[in-house]
């Protein structure tokens, strides 16, 4: 299919992929994101990857980033309240993983134009959410679910929605998971970032497996020249992000993320026409 064909990177591109990988990987270690929302426009614009295949490659690099980031964060910081919230983390992970299985097959039935518009809307919506977080601050805790019986069921339902987003759009869903954990379930922002990685890894793994079984990763030249160096850069970036985690202002990072997401959303929306 034309929509799933990837243009192979030229000879200088592996180094560029490495640099982008480092830059985006920092987000994984610093905040707890897979960086897919930033990586996807780069795959399309800089590497001329068709949108459907870009989604699949994006998910694969996201998995590498998530694994590196969770190892790095546990290596450089402590998160003592994670065990007490294990039921929420597990429920979100179960819901997201189950939904990701269906989302990978849904990707094949969505046209390139509509898919780009869906992704652009997602990015813009996340930017608005980040902006509202900065503006509302603690006021947003009004959405918090405190009932012990309700928390796992709410987490499963939310996880299903996030899992569909993850596999359908090739994102890890951290920008959705972190606000959910912080404002709905009462996690502190640092623990929410680490929990987001733990929740995302099984869901993204399922999506990658489904795409692999559908033959999405058969072009070894692209894997070697693009995915491998970008994945290696993501590992380096995740380590750097985790290293500076204790020394960065979270509000400043959120504001920067919101701006980048809006710019990316506008670029993708223009490409969809």
Residues 6+ apart with CB under 8 A from 190: 77, 79, 245
Which pLDDT tens digit goes with each residue over 153-183? Answer: 999 999 998 877 766 666 777 877 887 887 7
pLDDT, position 38: 80
Residue/partner pairs of 10-15 with CB below 8 Å, 24 or more apart: 13/47, 13/225, 13/226, 14/225, 14/226, 14/228, 14/229, 15/229
Tokens of 32: 């707890």
Question: Given phi > 0 = left and psi -120 to 50 = alpha, else beta, which region is 111?
Answer: beta
Which pLDDT tens digit goes with each residue over 198-247? Answer: 998 988 888 888 888 888 888 888 899 999 999 999 999 989 988 888 78
pLDDT, position 170: 65
Of 227, 122, 219, which Cα lies nearest the Cα of 166?
122
pLDDT, position 203: 83
Mean pLDDT of the chain: 80
Angle made by CA atoms 220, 218, 273, in degrees to the nearest 5: 100
User: Which residue shows structure tokens 């980040």?
Assistant: 130
Of 149 and 43, which is predicted with more confidence? 43
* pLDDT class of 103 with cuts at 50, 70, 90: low
Which pLDDT tens digit goes with each residue over 124-148? Answer: 887 887 787 777 765 555 466 666 7
Residue 49's beta-bridge partner residues?
6
* pLDDT class of 12 with cuts at 50, 70, 90: very low
Q: Are 184 and 154 in contact (CB under 8 A)?
A: yes
Tokens of 144: 């918090």
In the chain, where the domains are located = 6-271
For residue 118, is pLDDT > 70?
A: yes
Phi, then psi, of 49 in degrees rounded to 5:
-90, 130
> 138 burial class (0-12, 13-18, 19+ CB within 10 angstroms)?
exposed
Per DSSP, 32 falls in state S
């Amino acid at each position: 299919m034309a929509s799933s064909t990837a243009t192979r990177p030229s000879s200088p591109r592996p180094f560029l992929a490495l640099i982008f990988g480092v830059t985006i990987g920092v987000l994984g270690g610093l905040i707890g994101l897979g960086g897919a929302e930033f990586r996807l426009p780069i795959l399309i614009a800089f590497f001329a990857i068709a949108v459907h295949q870009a989604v699949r490659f994006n998910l694969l690099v996201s998995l590498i980033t998530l694994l590196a980031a969770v190892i790095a964060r546990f290596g450089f910081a402590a998160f003592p309240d994670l065990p007490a919230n294990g039921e929420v983390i597990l429920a979100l992970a179960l819901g997201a993983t189950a939904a990701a299985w269906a989302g990978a097959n849904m990707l094949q039935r969505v046209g390139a134009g509509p898919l780009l518009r869906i992704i652009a809307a997602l990015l813009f919506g996340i930017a608005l959410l980040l902006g509202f977080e900065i503006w509302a601050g603690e006021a947003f805790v009004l959405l918090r679910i405190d009932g012990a019986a309700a928390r796992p069921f709410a987490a499963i339902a939310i996880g299903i929605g996030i899992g569909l987003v993850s596999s359908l759009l090739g994102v890890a869903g951290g920008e959705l998971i972190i606000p959910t954990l912080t404002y709905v379930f009462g996690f502190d922002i640092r623990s929410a970032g680490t929990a987001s990685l733990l929740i995302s890894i099984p869901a993204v793994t399922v999506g990658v497996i489904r795409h692999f079984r559908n033959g999405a990763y058969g072009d070894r030249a692209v894997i070697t020249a693009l995915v491998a160096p970008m994945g290696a850069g993501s590992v380096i970036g995740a380590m750097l992000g985790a290293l500076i985690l204790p020394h960065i202002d979270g509000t400043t990072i959120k504001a920067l993320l919101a701006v980048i997401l809006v710019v990316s959303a506008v670029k993708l929306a223009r490409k969809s026409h």
